[in-house]
Amino acid sequence: MANKKNKKKAQQKSSQPAAAAAADAKVEKKAVAKKADAKGKPAKETSKAAKAKKNKGGKPGLFARAKKYLGSVRSEMRRVTWPSKKELINYSVAVCVSLVVVGVVIFVLDMAIGEGLALFAGLRG
């Protein structure tokens, strides 16, 4: 339940700056449109509006993406529930026993199929 709350808070925090930037871009577009209407000619965009438009279409740089990725890895690692030493030993023993059982089953099936084919084909005299 706590993870859902944290996720919701993170989404709200990340959406607020984006919404503010979108609102700023709309205001600038309206201002440019008003200037164009008043003079009858399309107005040149201000440098701030041009930069916002340019950055909007492009993706962030390599270092920004790497920083974001490592930050998300770090937050996920904090949420991991690590097993205790006793649980880890139990899980390890269960895995080893499962490997031995599956290995024996495969060995028996291999021998049975091999002997069956040998008898069927008459390869051993």
pLDDT of residue 60: 84
Domain end point (choices 47, 63, 81): 81
In terms of domains, do 76 and 92 share one? no
Q: Are both 96 and 60 inside the same structural domain?
A: no
Is there a single domain that holds both residue 16 and residue 64?
yes
pTM confidence score = 0.41
Are 63 and 116 contained in the same domain?
A: no
For residue 119, name the pLDDT band (cuts at 50, 70, 90).
confident
Same domain, 41 and 91: no
Greater confidence (84 vs 7) lies with 84
Same domain, 5 and 36: yes
| Percent of the chain clearing pLDDT 70 (strictly above) | 52
Domain membership of residue 69 as a residue range: 1-81
Amino acid at 102: V
Which residues, in sequence order, are CB contacts of 11 under 8 Å at separation 6+?
A: none
Total structural domains within the chain:
2
52 and 99 fall within a common domain: no
Q: Verify that 44 and 92 share a domain, yes or no.
A: no
Three-state secondary structure of the chain? CHHHHHHHHHHHHHHHHHHHHHHHHHHHHHHHHHHHHHHCCCCCCCHHHHHHHHHHHCCCCHHHHHHHHHHHHHHHHHHCCCCCHHHHHHHHHHHHHHHHHHHHHHHHHHHHHHHHHHHHHCCCC
- How far apart, in Å, do the first and last CA atoms of the chain sit? 70
Q: How many CB atoms lie within 10 A of CB 4?
A: 8
**Within this chain, do residues 53 and 22 fall inside the same structural domain, yes or no?**
yes
Same domain, 52 and 96: no
Looking at residue 27, what is its pLDDT?
A: 59
Q: Which amino acid is residue 20, in one-letter code? A: A
